[in-house]
Amino acid sequence: MRDEGRSGCPINATIEVIGDRWTLLVLRDVMFGNRRYFRELLAGSEEGIASNILADRLKRLVAAGMLSRADSRPGQKVEYRLTEPAIQLVPIMAQLGAWGLRHRPTTKRLRVRAELLAEGGPELWAEFMAELRESHLGIPRPDQDRPTATHRLAQAYAAAVAES
């Protein structure tokens, strides 16, 4: 039986899956930072997530179908991958970043990707989603000859870090 949540409201149903700070930040780090392993997520957290909170959020995201967890043998690192429902959050993440740019104080180094996503709009989001599908789901992206959105985001971030 499917978990119906507290109400039949679509906004509530979404919030019940991604509505806390740490869940969104873990998804951000997998999505935009290509961090796929527990230690990468823990060490790369700008916000300093605690290991017990990270473990809990990863478990919840897998249970909710937002991340898949690769089978591993004892002693091997477990790889986490975005699922299609998580990849479809790219426009929401871009809009959250754009809202933060407009209404909250940010730093140059950490705002550059949000600026690029806001400027690139739906076309850039679609390109980035195609890249995520390729790297997380194994679905080849349609335009193999075009520079990747990931590359452009990384270049913008590197330039912002160099200026800092």
Give the single-character DSSP code of 32: H
Higher-scoring residue by pLDDT: 143, 15: 15
Domain with 48, as residue range(s), is 10-83
Count of domains in the chain?
A: 2
Provide the token pair at 154. 């990384």
Give the bridge partners for 147, in sequence order: none
Last residue of a domain, one of 83, 116, 140: 83
91/95 Cα distance (integer angstroms): 6
pLDDT tens string 105-137: 998 888 888 999 999 999 999 999 999 999 999
126/4 Cα distance (integer angstroms): 30
Give the bridge partners for 79, in sequence order: 37
What is the value of pTM for the model shown?
0.87
User: In this structure, is residue 139 part of a structural domain?
Assistant: yes
